[in-house]
């Protein structure tokens, strides 16, 4: 996840490489990620870029949601200037 500070509104970009699957698989993953982000509530400001790993295609919705929630927590910590905890892949 990449974070850009200093933005008045929140923006998110999902990078899903072609190697992860065909268009149906990639679009399904993007829809799932957008739905999760909407449900969790986006931060007030900043920009994030999510780079999907190959394992994201096979993960359950609950696990994907948990990981996005942790990434948003890390985003909030980065914006606040606190050190971000390391997460194993």
pLDDT at residue 88 above 70?
A: no
pLDDT at residue 84 above 70?
A: no
Cα angle 3, 58, 20; round to 5? 65
Mark out the alpha helices in 1-89 (DSSP H runs): 23-40, 61-80
SS3 label, residue 60: coil
pLDDT given for residue 73 in this prediction = 85
Residue owning tokens 């996005």? 68
pLDDT at residue 59 above 70?
A: yes
Per DSSP (E only), the strands in 24-75 are 46-51
Architecture (CATH level 2) of domain 13-80: 2-Layer Sandwich (3.30)
All structural domains of the chain with their residue ranges: 13-80
Beta bridge partners of 3: 48
Identify the band that residue 9 occupies on the pLDDT scale cut at 50, 70 and 90: confident
Instruction: Tell me the angle at which helices 23-40 and 61-80 cross, rounded to the nearest 10 degrees.
Output: 60
């Amino acid at each position: 996840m990449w974070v850009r500070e200093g933005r008045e509104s929140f923006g998110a970009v999902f990078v899903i490489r072609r190697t992860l699957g065909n268009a149906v698989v990639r679009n399904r993953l993007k829809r799932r990620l957008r739905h999760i982000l909407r449900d969790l509530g986006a931060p007030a400001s900043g920009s994030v870029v999510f780079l999907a790993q190959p394992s994201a295609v096979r993960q359950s919705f609950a696990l994907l949601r948990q990981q996005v929630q942790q990434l948003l927590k890390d985003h909030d910590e980065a914006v606040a200037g606190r050190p971000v905890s390391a997460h194993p892949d």
